[in-house]
Amino acid sequence: MTETERKRVVIVGAGFGGLAAAKTLGNTPVDVTVVDRRNYHLFQPLLYQVATAGLSPADIAWPIRGILRDRKNILMLMDEVTGVDLDARQVICTEHRLPYDFLILATGARHAYFGHDEWEPHAPGLKQIEDATSIRHRVLLAFERAEMATDPAEQERLLTFVVVGAGPTGVEMAGALAELAHRALARDFRRINPRRARILLVEAGPRVLAAFPEELSQYSCLVLEKLGVEVRLGQPVTACDEHGVEVGNQRTAAGTVIWAAGVRASSAARWLDADADRAGRVKVEPDLSVPGRPEIFVIGDTALVLDDSGRPLPGLAPVAKQQGRHVAELILARLEGRPTRPFRYRHRGNLATIGRNAAVIDFGRIRLKGLLAWWVWGIAHLYFLIGVRAPTLVALQWLWSYLTFGKGARLITGPPPGSSAPQPPEAAPATDKPA
C-alpha cells in the first residue's frame, strides 16, 4: 500500500476499547487519529479507591500521548466530538472535522437515573476522575461537618452514607466506605466517633452482585454485613434530594448519596441515526459494524452485543478491549483482502472485591472467595494497569494501606468548609466518554 493509498482510521474515545484498537493499529500501514476530550486514559475499575481516599487520581490515569508515543502512525487530538457527517464521512469536532475511511466509536456510557435526572446533583455516579474527587470531597467533608455539628440528629445525618446499586461498583464502594469510617478514620476525631457511621447499600433486585453465582452473592452479602454495611434488597429508591433518600416508603436522612445503579450509552446512536435499545446502545452487526455502514464500528458500553444465550455482554473492560482488538484486526484484514470473522467474546471471569481480605471471583467452573480471591483480584488489577511505574505505586499504596489501615489520599479539595454543600462538576456530555 502506497502513501497515497493509506486509509484513515478515526477512533473516538481513548478508554479500554478505543485504546486497544489504537495499539493494535499502531505501526501498521494506516493513518490513525485518536480523539478524546481528555488527555488521559483512565483505569475505571479503581475509581472507587480514589473516591474513598485509597489512591490519588495520578495512580490510575496516564497521558494518552505517552501510551501511544511509539506508534508513529497515530495522531492524538484532544477535542470534543459532537456528531458524524455520514455522507461526507467526517467526524464533527468542536474545532474541526476529521475525514475517515473507517470510524471506531468507543464513546462509552454515563450514569442513568431511570427518568429522574434531577437526582444527579444529590447522588453523583462514578465514571470519571472528576466524579471520584467530588465523591471524596463529599465523604471527607461529611466527617468534618459532623465534627463541627452540635445537633445529634444532624451529626447522624452527616454520618449516614447511602450507596444505590449493588453491582460490583456499589459493593466495592460500600465496603471501602465502611473500612474508611470504621478503620482509617476511627481515631482521627474528638467529638464524633466515625465507627458510628452508617453505610447503607440499597438494591432494587433480590441480591447483591446479581451477575455472580448465588453462592458468591450470598457470601458477599455476609461480608458486607460483617463490615457494618446495612444491605437493603428488593427496595428501589423512590426519591432523592439534598437531605437523603426514600427507599420504598421509608425515608432515610443522609449526608452523602452515591449512585451505582445504572448507565446509559453515549450519543453515538443519535449521531449515526442507528437503531438502539432502551439504554441507548447501538444494535451492531456480528462483526461490530453498524447495519448499512460497514466502515463504521461501535464498541464497548456504546454497543449492544449479545452472547450465545441472547443476553447483552456486560459493560466491562475485558469486553471493550477484546472488541477494540477485533475491530482493528478486522480493518487490517479487509485492507489485505483476508477473510474476516464475527466477534466472539472470550469470558475471562468476573471479579469483585468487598473489603480487606475478601473478594469473589467467578471463572465459570472455578469459583473463589475470601483471602485467595482478594489476592487474585489485586494481582489481576495490577497486571492490567498500563506501564511499570503505575503498578509499582499502586502496589506500594495497597501494601501500606493493608498494614496500617491508612488512607493516603485524604485531601479535601474544592470549596472551603464554610461554603455551601459541595456540588459535583457539571456532568460531561456523553459524547466523549471512553469505553
Domain boundaries, the chain: 3-37+79-111+263-335, 117-261+349-427
- Rounded distance between C-alpha atoms, residue 24 and residue 150, angstroms: 59
- Choose among 62, 60, 17: nearest CA to 40: 62
Q: Where are the beta strands (DSSP E) in 260-335?
A: 263-265, 282-283, 289-290, 293-298, 303-304
Residue range 132-138: average pLDDT?
93
Residues marked as catalytic: 172
Q: What is the DSSP letter of 426?
A: P
Tens digits of residue pLDDT in 54-76: 888 888 888 999 999 999 999 99
Contacts of 135 (CB under 8 A, 6+ apart): 51, 124, 126, 256, 258
The single residue listed with the C-alpha cell 461501535 is: 298
- Rounded distance between C-alpha atoms, residue 47 and residue 109, angstroms: 15
C-alpha separations of 81 from 53, 85, 101 in Å: 32, 11, 17
Residue range 226-249: average pLDDT?
94
Cα 227-111-161 angle, rounded to 5 deg? 30
Residue 132 has pLDDT above 90, yes or no: yes
| pLDDT value of residue 264 | 87
- Choose among 142, 45, 49: nearest CA to 355: 49
Contact predicate 356/180, CB 8 Å: no
Tens digits of residue pLDDT in 355-380: 888 999 998 889 999 999 999 988 88
- Which DSSP helix (H) or strand (E) runs through 168? helix 168-179
Higher pLDDT among residues 396 and 15, named by residue: 15
- Rounded distance between C-alpha atoms, residue 424 and residue 435, angstroms: 22
Residue 115 has pLDDT above 90, yes or no: no
| pLDDT value of residue 105 | 98
- Rounded distance between C-alpha atoms, residue 433 and residue 13, angstroms: 6
How deeply is 171 buried, as exposed, middle or buried, from its count of CB atoms within 10 A (0-12, 13-18, 19+)? buried
| CATH topology identical between 3-37+79-111+263-335 and 117-261+349-427 | yes
- Choose among 296, 284, 291, 276: nearest CA to 9: 296
Residue type, 22: A
| Average pLDDT value for the chain | 89
- Rounded distance between C-alpha atoms, residue 18 and residue 28, angstroms: 16
State the fold for domain 117-261+349-427: FAD/NAD(P)-binding domain (3.50.50)
C-alpha separations of 368 from 175, 223, 353 in Å: 18, 14, 11
Residue 428 has pLDDT above 60, yes or no: no
- Name 231's bridge partners: 201
Residue 1 has pLDDT above 80, yes or no: no
Q: How many angstroms from the chain centroid is the CA of residue 199?
A: 21
Higher pLDDT among residues 405 and 371, named by residue: 371
- Rounded distance between C-alpha atoms, residue 410 and residue 139, angstroms: 10
Residue type, 146: A
- Rounded distance between C-alpha atoms, residue 54 and residue 133, angstroms: 12
- Choose among 429, 433, 411: nearest CA to 141: 411
Contact predicate 353/49, CB 8 Å: no
State the fold for domain 3-37+79-111+263-335: FAD/NAD(P)-binding domain (3.50.50)
Residue 407 has pLDDT above 80, yes or no: no
- Rounded distance between C-alpha atoms, residue 7 and residue 102, angstroms: 8
Contact predicate 421/154, CB 8 Å: no
pTM (two decimals): 0.88
Residue range 378-401: average pLDDT?
73
Higher pLDDT among residues 183 and 106, named by residue: 106
